[in-house]
Amino acid sequence: MHKFSRFASALERLLPDMPPIDLSLLIWIAFLLVAGVQLFYYLFFFRRLAFYKTDDQTADPQADFPLSIIICARDAEHLLRKNIHYWLQQRYPKTDGAPNYELLIVDHCSEDDTARYVHELTGAYPHLRLIRLYQQAKGIPGKKFPLSIGIKSAAYEHVLLTDADCRPASVWWAARMSQGFQPGKEIVLGYGAYEKQPGWLNKVIRYDAFFSALQYLSFALAGYPYMGVGRNLAYQKALFFRHKGFVSHQHIPSGDDDLFVNQAANRHNVAVMLHPDAFTYTPARNSWKLWWMQKKRHLTTGKYYRRSDQLRLGLYATSHIGFYVLLLLTLLLPPAHLPSVWFWSITLGVVLCRWMIQHIILRKSMQVLQEHDLKPYYLLFDIAYCLYYLIFTPLAFKRKVSSQWS
């Protein structure tokens, strides 16, 4: 006790004029810390997508191996009639004059004429194959069962996945995606965009897809891959079998894309393919209710990610919310004992620095992903994302989810 008193007296003599630390000063310091975390994410992670260099725009892609394109379909005749020709007419290298890829349609318990329509086309397109499933596997909701059958039945080692409602951006889509399979690369992550339509709902959905891609593609480029999207994803069959497919999460309706990538990806075996020819486009939901339901299904998988991935994503979301909340509190409660010139200079400097770096990186990332029309709205969406995180994060931990396909 005597030693502590002597230490306190010495400290008072060294710092006689130091005011006591108050709540407003702690809030300001916390604001500076979360702003620093935000700058770290933008400068260490997100800049990798913003300054990503695609291949020569004029060069035709080449592929040295055959490819299986797999699409699971359920009551999707109308979608196949709209999109199947995009997949059948891919310009993939040929062998003996025949396409060196197959299009495998897995019809999962359809009640419409999906199977009949695909079967009619097989005569004209020898590289088109149909697999019909008549029963849902017990205890395996969603499309993990039909997708597993499709991968096991694929004729070739490299498989490229998309959905029945997707269309490739070009006839070079399959060839571009296959370019990602460089030595040592077993997974190729692509960008699955949503089609541009008028209205705010479409902008919200497309910005949400863009920002999700900004995170998972940037993290992958930094050596921390954690997910991919089934609208545009490729990997090797050997990898699928080595990780026992979807066995570890087959009871979860969603996750045939992100959970598999999360368990199978590492810093060495993942490539990204961001050439505009390699994108896919999907019609966005046309009502807030349908989008809400889709988001709830997608978010249920996050709690099954590796703990390190949860921490990285959680730290970003927390710092994003904290930046705006603490900025507001700091402006309402400026530190009383800090000189005003210091306070305003540092605070405004940090805010402008964060917004300037964000402005550059988000706009350049939107250019890479061909989302140019979203550029004027990024600051509005950035602020709105605080509310987004507060609403959707609790939904990620709900136990009951829909078993519908996402």
- The 3-class secondary structure across 204-231, one letter per residue, is HHHHHHHHHHHHHHHHHHCCCCCCCCCC
Average pLDDT over residues 29-35: 97
Residue 291's pLDDT is what? 87
Residue 139's pLDDT is what? 75
Cα-to-chain-centroid distance, residue 166: 16
Structure tokens at 155: 């004729």
Q: Which of the two residues, 95 and 290, has the higher pLDDT score?
A: 290
Structure tokens at 376: 């004027």
- The mean of the pLDDT values for the chain is 89
Residue 270's pLDDT is what? 98
Average pLDDT over residues 355-363: 97
Q: Is 11 exposed, middle or buried (0-12, 13-18, 19+ CB in 10 A)?
A: exposed
Residue 38's pLDDT is what? 97
Query: Residue 64: which pLDDT band, with cuts at 50, 70 and 90?
Result: confident
**Distance between CA atoms of residues 156 and 149, nearest Å:** 14
Average pLDDT over residues 211-234: 97
CB count in 10 Å sphere of residue 189: 28
72-109 pLDDT tens trace: 999 999 999 999 999 999 999 876 666 789 999 999 99
Residue 253's pLDDT is what? 83
Q: Is 308's pLDDT higher than 70? A: yes
Q: Is 18's pLDDT higher than 80? A: no
174-208 pLDDT tens trace: 999 999 999 999 999 999 999 999 999 999 999 99
Q: Is 11's pLDDT higher than 50? A: no
CATH class of 67-296: alpha beta
Residue 250's pLDDT is what? 86
Residue 318's pLDDT is what? 94
pTM of the model: 0.89
Beta-sheet strands, E only, within 26-111:
67-73, 94-95, 98-99, 101-108
Q: Is 56's pLDDT higher than 70? A: no
385-401 pLDDT tens trace: 888 888 777 665 555 55
Query: Residue 3: which pLDDT band, with cuts at 50, 70 and 90?
Result: low
Output the CA torsion sign for 252, 256, 261, 264: positive
CB count in 10 Å sphere of residue 317: 17
Average pLDDT over residues 227-237: 97
Q: Is 406's pLDDT higher than 80? A: no
Q: Is 187 exposed, middle or buried (0-12, 13-18, 19+ CB in 10 A)?
A: buried
Residue 58's pLDDT is what? 47
Q: Is 273's pLDDT higher than 70? A: yes
Q: Which range among 50-54, 134-138, 279-283, 333-337 shows the weakest confidence by mean pLDDT?
A: 134-138
Q: For 351, what's the count of Cα atoms within 13 Å in the CB-facing half-sphere?
A: 18
**CATH 3.90.550.10 domain range(s) in the chain:** 67-296
Residue 5's pLDDT is what? 57
State percent of the chain over pLDDT 70: 88
